[in-house]
Amino acid sequence: MTAVLETRPLDGARARSIARAFLPDGAFGNRWNYFYTRTKLGSDPLYPAVADALRDTTAPLLDLGCGLGLLAHTLREDGVDLPYRGVDIDAGKIAHARRVADRARLRDVTFDAVDLSRVMPEHAGSVALLDVLQYVDTPAQIRILDTATAMVAPCGKLFIRSGLETPGWRARTSKAFDTLAAVAGWMYSAPRRYPSEALLRDRLDAAGLRYAITPLNGNTPFNNWQIVAWRE
């Protein structure tokens, strides 16, 4: 793994602009999603990193484990207009993602509820796999990775963001935070196993992809890494 200069998160004005679409309809509605979105976009370098990776591609994008669909909003705000489909196991988040995308008038964006541990959608193009692998066991990680790599078209890319199975305080912090998010009901389940770098390299090599693995911690205390892969 190679250390590189990391992408910065969105500035405050851009984060607030995107988060406004997540405000409740009424003055007394629940504002959790608004404050969560605003905080995450303003602290996590993930979304600008994905936009930078996909900016020179033309293939449609499948976002596996899309949650509230933040990636769709940040890509459109950044001028990346690839056709986007987001899937997630949490039907409640998918319903909210649809409502907010309609409110924000995002073009060429769809969302569907899918349990990736049971079935993978058909797709050819680019794939985003963001903070998903730690929530399934190793056999499921292999199935998801092998299916995702097979989806990558010559004009597309695979972007993975994940914690890795490494020693150190960042790894412990990531696991504690992910576990707390599950206890609080924000995440569908607690983390099961973080993938190893060796597993990722093995599956990417088997798929014949070129790739780069670099840190993506930003100003966070988490053990986050980005893997960008492409087919020559």
pLDDT at 185 (0 to 100):
66
pTM for the predicted model, two decimal places = 0.91
Q: What is the pLDDT of residues 98-118, one digit of tens each?
A: 999 999 999 999 999 998 878
Closest CA relative to residue 62, chosen from 121, 145, 115: 121
- Checking if the pLDDT of 55 tops 60, the result is yes
CA atoms within 13 A on the CB side of 68: 20
For residue 78, the surrounding DSSP H or E stretch is none
Structural tokens at position 79: 């001028």
Q: With the C-alpha atoms ordered 206, 212, 218, 223, is the resulting torsion angle positive or negative?
A: positive
Q: What is the pLDDT of residues 139-165, one digit of tens each?
A: 999 999 999 999 999 999 999 999 999
**Contact residues for 156 (Cβ-Cβ < 8 A; gap 6+):** 57, 59, 61, 124, 125, 126, 127, 230, 231
Burial class (CB in 10 A: 0-12, 13-18, 19+), 165: middle
The stretch 119-143 carries a mean pLDDT of: 94
Phi, psi at residue 84, to the nearest 5°?
Answer: -125, 135
3-state DSSP percent of the chain in helix, strand and coil, to 5: 40, 20, 40
pLDDT at 190 (0 to 100):
79
- Alpha helices, DSSP H only, in the chain? 12-19, 32-43, 46-54, 70-77, 91-104, 138-151, 169-183, 197-206
Domains of the chain and CATH, by start: 44-230 (3.40.50.150)
Is residue 29 very low, low, confident or very high in pLDDT (cuts 50, 70, 90)?
Answer: confident
